[in-house]
Amino acid sequence: MTTVYRKTKGLQDRDLHYCPGCGHGIIHKLIAECMEELGVIDTAILVCPVGCSVFAGNYFACDCVEAIHGRAPAVGTAIKRTHPDQLVVTYQGDGDLASIGAAEIVHAAMRGEKFTTVFINNAIYGMTGGQMAPTTLLGQHATTAPMGRQKELHGSPMRVCELLASQEGLAYAERVCVADIPHLNQAKKAIKKAFELQLAGVGFTFVEVLSACPTNWGMSPVEANKWLLENMAAYYPLGVIKEAQAK
């Protein structure tokens, strides 16, 4: 029996540049499938970040805009306000969003901007060589924390979903992961729900995706996903953090 793998129309037919075991490619496919199922590929607008996914615009079949480091929420705000009936999605990693872009994302949530952010949390700076990020776990090694992250020196890892949930403008926040098939299926449901709530005009919607970075973690893909479930999911609990109802 031959297995047929279905390609989504939301992605262009070209190879990805990501490292083996990286979650970006999987997450791209989930986003693209949701766009296809909602019938918005031709009208959706994706804002790409600076980081490992800086070339995301080369892969999606929708319109894409590149934002400077950390400023995707500002770009998303402008696009959504001028294109209120179109799906607008910002795609950011933890260094981009939680570090240089922390003010941008908090104020977007505060204002209740009606776009969706898909936040990829792999607890490390990936593109630039494995520096400590705001989400790096205590004890986790990084090139800028060779002895491991220490609370007294570096503070505690930032729980972004919980931080944003304190803002009234945040309509929906869920944390998911893509470490295995059941979690991957839940991640897709969360992304699709975020898109649906955005299109219903409820408010700012946010999906945090825990994702492995085998290259900078110094692990095989299998080891990295196991470590993610045992360590990251323990500190960053999966599930719905906040959900408002459509009016």
Domain assignment of residue 132, yes or no: no
Domain count, the chain: 1
Domain assignment of residue 109, yes or no: yes
Domain assignment of residue 23, yes or no: no
Domain assignment of residue 21, yes or no: no
CATH number at residue 216: 3.40.50.970
Average pLDDT, the chain: 94
Range of the domain at 198: 32-126+157-243
Q: Tens digit of pLDDT per residue, the chain (247 long)?
A: 444 446 899 999 999 999 999 999 999 999 999 999 999 999 999 999 999 999 999 999 999 999 999 999 999 999 999 999 999 999 999 999 999 999 999 999 999 999 999 999 999 998 888 899 999 999 999 999 999 999 999 999 999 999 999 999 999 999 999 999 999 999 999 999 999 999 999 999 999 999 999 999 999 999 999 999 999 999 999 999 999 865 5
Q: Is 136 helix (H, G, I), strand (E, B) or coil?
A: coil
Domain assignment of residue 140, yes or no: no
Q: Write out the two tokens for 108.
A: 């977007």
Could you say which DSSP state residue 50 is in?
S
If one counts every other C-beta atom within 10 angstroms of the C-beta of residue 162, the result is 15
Domain assignment of residue 79, yes or no: yes
- Please tell me the predicted confidence (pLDDT) of residue 104: 97
pLDDT digit string, tens, across residues 178-187: 999 999 999 9
Domain assignment of residue 151, yes or no: no
Rounded CA separation 98/116 (Å): 16
C-alpha atoms less than 13 angstroms from C-alpha of 134 in its C-beta half-sphere: 15
